[in-house]
């Protein structure tokens, strides 16, 4: 059984901070590694995890869960920053420090050239890696899985 791990360093920066989304086998071995980010520049800090529309996705530790779940069947979205497949993350909504955040997912950073980053979703930033991720999810679904576990970690705080 495979699972996903998103890791990124949270810090104050005028530049967009990048991390990685890993697909791992049940034994922890890396299957794939994708360049990814979450949140918007200047808002990728621990203090902004509860900031709607700007902060990064909260870590599993912040929410108090072992893992999130991601649907293996994408929905289509016409939203400007998504413009295509969207893999929904649950639980939805999530409460962090008393503030409700919702509608997290994994998608391609369709605004990457004009407004890079996300409103909190995990976004892949390389088109060929996005295609590879979609193939991975399609294959995992074909194996009979409707969801895949996602662990969100920020090594500097976890």
The rounded percent of the chain whose pLDDT value lies above 70 is 99
> Rounded to the nearest 5°, which phi and psi values hold at 35?
-70, 130
Please answer whether residues 21 and 106 qualify as being in contact, where contact means their C-beta atoms are separated by less than 8 angstroms.
Answer: yes
Please tell me the predicted confidence (pLDDT) of residue 85: 97
Q: What H or E segment, with its residue span, contains residue 27?
A: none
Coil, strand or helix at 62: helix
- Number of alpha helices (DSSP H) and beta strands (DSSP E) in the chain: 2, 11
The mean of the pLDDT values for the chain is: 94
Please tell me the predicted confidence (pLDDT) of residue 155: 87
User: pLDDT band for position 7 (50/70/90)?
Assistant: very high
Please tell me the predicted confidence (pLDDT) of residue 79: 85
List, in order of start, the domains of the chain with CATH numbers. 3-153 (2.40.440.10)
Condensed to tens digits (0 to 9), the pLDDT of residues 20-72 reads 999 999 999 999 999 999 999 999 999 999 999 999 999 999 999 999 999 99
Condensed to tens digits (0 to 9), the pLDDT of residues 100-123 reads 999 999 999 988 778 899 999 999
């Amino acid at each position: 059984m495979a699972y996903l791990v998103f890791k990124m360093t949270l810090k104050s920066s005028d530049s967009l901070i990048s991390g990685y989304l890993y697909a791992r086998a049940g034994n922890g071995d890396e299957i794939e590694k994708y360049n990814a980010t979450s949140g918007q520049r200047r808002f990728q800090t621990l203090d902004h995890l509860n900031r709607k529309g700007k902060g990064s996705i909260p870590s599993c530790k912040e929410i108090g869960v072992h893992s999130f779940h991601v649907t293996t069947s994408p929905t289509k979205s016409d939203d400007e920053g998504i413009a295509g497949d969207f893999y929904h993350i649950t639980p939805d909504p999530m409460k962090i420090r008393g503030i409700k955040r919702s509608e997290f997912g994994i998608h391609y950073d369709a605004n990457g050239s004009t407004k890079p980053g996300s409103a909190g979703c995990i976004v892949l930033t390389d088109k060929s890696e996005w295609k590879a991720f979609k193939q991975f999810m399609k294959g995992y679904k074909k194996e009979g899985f409707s969801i895949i576990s996602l662990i969100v970690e920020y090594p500097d705080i976890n």
